[in-house]
Amino acid sequence: MEAIRFIIHYGIHFLVPILIAFIFYRSNWKKSLVILISAIIIDIDHVWANPIFDPNRCSINFHLLHSYPFIFIYTLLLFNNKSRIYGIALLLHILADTTDCILSKTII
């Protein structure tokens, strides 16, 4: 089960952005892909946790940049054409982490 959890979690982080870039942003797929994958930067908030990485801890609403107020802000980014790709990227990151929480049976 842990292997499946790992594949799904990191598949959403790295493979789904490739699909989104090629399908929805074909004319500018390289830039879009960089933006989509760069959303991993919000994991910087793990640095303030102790321990920094805990495979059994749900990131959602535990880490600052994974909290509900920030998720709301990421959602607002979807409503402006210029910020939409950033909103997609950040919410895709949240989706990956939410999926990981569900698969690890930790409470969101």
Q: Are 18 and 33 in contact (CB under 8 A)?
A: yes
Q: Are 17 and 89 in contact (CB under 8 A)?
A: yes
pLDDT band at 2 (very low <50, low <70, confident <90, very high): confident
| pLDDT at 107 exceeding the cut of 70 | no
Q: Are 100 and 66 in contact (CB under 8 A)?
A: no
Domains in the chain: how many in total? 1
**Neighbour tally for 58: CB within 10 Å:** 19
Cα–Cα distance measured from residue 78 to residue 60, given in angstroms and rounded to the nearest whole number: 20
- Residues 10-48 have pLDDT tens digits of 999 999 999 999 999 999 999 999 999 999 999 999 999
pLDDT band at 1 (very low <50, low <70, confident <90, very high): confident
- Residues 47-106 have pLDDT tens digits of 999 999 888 899 999 999 999 999 999 999 999 999 999 999 999 999 999 999 999 886
Cα–Cα distance measured from residue 34 to residue 76, given in angstroms and rounded to the nearest whole number: 21
Identify the domain containing residue 43 by its residue range: 2-104
Q: Are 78 and 88 in contact (CB under 8 A)?
A: yes
Cα–Cα distance measured from residue 49 to residue 42, given in angstroms and rounded to the nearest whole number: 13
